[in-house]
Amino acid sequence: MNVTVLYGTESGNSELIAEDVGAALRDAGHDAEVYDLQNFDPAELTADRFTIVVCSTHGEGDLPNTAIPFAAAFDAAPPDLTGLRYAMFGLGDTFYEETYSQGSEHIDRRFAAQGATRVGEYGRHDASSWDLGSDVALEWLPGVLEEAAAKVA
């Protein structure tokens, strides 16, 4: 499967998780490319590549700094995402109950509004847990890939 892994980060946690997800995908024989959202043009989103977004939350449920340029470009020229299938993995802290994992939700809403289809369970990492973000993401990934493959077949 051809996979694009995008990440939006404030402190680097999403980047580490995205790199680990990309490595796991490559180890499993997939063609996986990893990009920081600030360096990715929304017009490059294509239905021929499954997309995984790993995005943290900053401030009051806002996008992290590296996701802001992507969101601005997306809003300025919303791409037609009909046929795009994607998975979402959000980071946050349940201590901040009302804004938990909202950074990823901003991207998720944009994708859905433009016709993309989210596949699999919405992955989430809680910074208040003792779990490492990469461990949670790597446990979540096989279920998403299984569902993505089933949708293609």
Q: How many CA atoms lie within 13 A of 109 on its CB side?
A: 9
Tokens at 119, concatenated: 């596949």
Alpha-carbon distance 78 to 124, whole Å? Answer: 26
Q: Taking the domains of the chain in order of start, what are their residue ranges?
A: 2-148
User: CATH classification of 2-148, choosing from 3.50.50.60, 3.30.499.10, 3.40.50.360, 3.30.1330.60?
Assistant: 3.40.50.360
Amino acid in position 104: S
CA–CA–CA angle 19, 20, 24 (5° rounding): 115
The pLDDT score that the predictor gives to residue 30 is: 95
Q: For residue 77, what are the β-bridge partners? A: none
Mutual angle of helices 102-113 and 68-76, in 10-degree steps: 20
The pLDDT score that the predictor gives to residue 62 is: 84
The pLDDT score that the predictor gives to residue 96 is: 67
Alpha-carbon distance 76 to 33, whole Å? Answer: 25
**Mean pLDDT over each residue of the chain, to the nearest integer:** 91
Tell which residue, 125, 111, 145, has the closest CA to residue 14: 125
The pLDDT score that the predictor gives to residue 91 is: 87
Alpha-carbon distance 153 to 118, whole Å? Answer: 17
Q: Mark the ranges of the chain whose per-residue pLDDT is less than 70.
A: 96, 99, 151-153
Alpha-carbon distance 109 to 93, whole Å? Answer: 20
